[in-house]
């Protein structure tokens, strides 16, 4: 890959490993940084971003959109030049989710859909394990993450070495890993699962006991839905673990008509208080299918804003918690990574091969 130097006075780049006048290889040209576009809220920008603003106008004031729209415009133009697609997790802010994303959804859904595209570059608007999953399923593509520090408390709660120790302590017990883990962890496990198919994966192992790592609450919620003995690991999501059953009961006392839907990363007592529990995608589907008058999403804050744009008439009550890691991803950082092709995510080939096997075992399970 070419390296570059930015000149502060002009904002122009010099590509260090290409001689002046050299055409370079296709990869070198693709990775060549470009001049950062000027950002101004012009009539052209306003017109080009009007459709996006219509979706987010209830969440973003017009005066704020005037600052965001030039970024949206520049990103959408540059991603076409880079032959790039932008993946946005459901927890991204509305300006990203509705303004620049090509594919939206939960982490595995994003990686699977991106692998089907003809794009050479994938910009992962999410956290680091999601970018790794995209690289695992699209090894030939360049995967960029706008902020390398966008981590995950759950993914960081366990390492590959921890999994090896668990296997040593539990011989013969299948180890299932939630997709919200690093490539290194996936590579040490027998199969992956998502929050929506965890019960199916657990029962597909054909054993009376499994280890489901690392989310202790997901594992406990699955354990309540199957006769298989589901062993847990002491990991958790810092967003979902903060919700309490008492909090939900208080909301119901205030408004008995509200429908409460929760993510299975919440503690079991929280899930027990909900009208529905499911993955981010299943929560969205539930709202669209049921059209409740008032709904409370027990998950990350931005998700309700993103769903609200496509479910008019539903009143969202937001007792949400912010994910500080997801919020590291901003329009400015997305533009920067496309300008200079920074934040490339690399996964060791051997690790990727073993992790891919665990993901594909899950994908290939019969419904």
Mean pLDDT of successive 10-residue segments in the chain (367 residues)? 30 31 43 86 97 93 97 97 94 95 88 89 95 95 96 95 98 96 98 93 97 97 97 94 93 93 94 92 90 90 84 82 91 96 96 96 83
Parent domain of 189? 155-237
Owner of token pair 């804050």: 301
283 within a domain of the structure (yes/no): yes
Q: Per the structure, how many domains does the chain have?
A: 3
2 within a domain of the structure (yes/no): no
254 and 270 in a single domain? The answer is yes
pLDDT for res 9: 28
360 within a domain of the structure (yes/no): no
172 and 199 in a single domain? The answer is yes
CATH, residue 172: 3.40.50.10800
pLDDT for res 167: 97
53 and 128 in a single domain? The answer is yes
40 within a domain of the structure (yes/no): yes
Report the 10 Å Cβ neighbour count for 86. 26
208 and 281 in a single domain? The answer is no
359 within a domain of the structure (yes/no): no
363 within a domain of the structure (yes/no): no
59 within a domain of the structure (yes/no): yes
pLDDT for res 34: 86
Which of 210, 237, 264 is the endpoint of a domain?
237
Global pTM value = 0.86
206 and 302 in a single domain? The answer is no
226 and 266 in a single domain? The answer is no
176 and 212 in a single domain? The answer is yes
9 within a domain of the structure (yes/no): no
Do the Cβ atoms of 180 and 153 come closer than 8 Å? no
pLDDT for res 21: 35
């Amino acid at each position: 890959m070419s390296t570059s130097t930015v000149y502060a006075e002009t904002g122009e780049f010099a590509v260090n490993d290409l001689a002046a006048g050299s055409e370079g290889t296709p990869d070198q040209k693709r990775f060549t940084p470009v001049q950062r576009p000027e950002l101004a809220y012009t009539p052209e920008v306003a017109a080009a971003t009007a459709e996006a603003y219509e979706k987010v106008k209830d969440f973003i004031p017009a005066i704020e959109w005037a600052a965001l729209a030039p970024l949206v415009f520049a990103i959408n133009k540059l991603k076409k030049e880079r032959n790039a697609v932008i993946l946005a997790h459901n927890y991204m802010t509305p300006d990203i989710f509705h303004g620049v994303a090509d594919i939206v959804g939960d982490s595995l859904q994003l990686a699977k859909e991106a692998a089907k595209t003809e794009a050479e570059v994938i910009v992962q608007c999410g956290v680091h394990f999601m970018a790794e999953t995209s690289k695992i399923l699209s090894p030939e593509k360049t995967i960029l993450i706008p902020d390398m520090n966008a981590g995950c408390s759950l993914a960081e709660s366990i390492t590959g070495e921890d999994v090896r120790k668990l296997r040593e302590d539990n011989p013969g017990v299948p180890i299932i890993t939630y997709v919200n883990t690093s490539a290194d962890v996936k590579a040490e496990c027998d199969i992956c699962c998502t929050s929506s198919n965890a019960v199916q994966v657990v029962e597909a192992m054909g054993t009376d006991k499994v280890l489901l790592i690392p989310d202790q609450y997901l594992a406990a919620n699955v354990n309540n839905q199957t006769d298989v003995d589901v062993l847990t690991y002491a990991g958790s999501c810092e967003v979902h673990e903060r919700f309490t059953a008492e909090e939900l009961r208080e909301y119901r006392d205030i408004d008995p008509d509200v429908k409460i839907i929760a993510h299975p990363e919440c503690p079991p007592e929280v899930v027990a208080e909900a009208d529905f529990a499911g993955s981010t995608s299943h929560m969205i589907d539930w709202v669209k299918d049921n059209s409740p008058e008032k709904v409370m999403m027990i998950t990350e804050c931005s998700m309700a804003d993103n769903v609200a744009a496509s479910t008019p008439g539903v009143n969202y009550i937001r007792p949400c918690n912010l994910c500080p890691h997801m919020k590291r991803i901003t329009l400015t950082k997305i533009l920067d990574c496309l300008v200079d092709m920074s934040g490339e995510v690399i996964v060791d080939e051997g690790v990727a091969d073993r992790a891919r096997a665990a993901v594909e075992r899950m994908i290939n399970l019969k419904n």
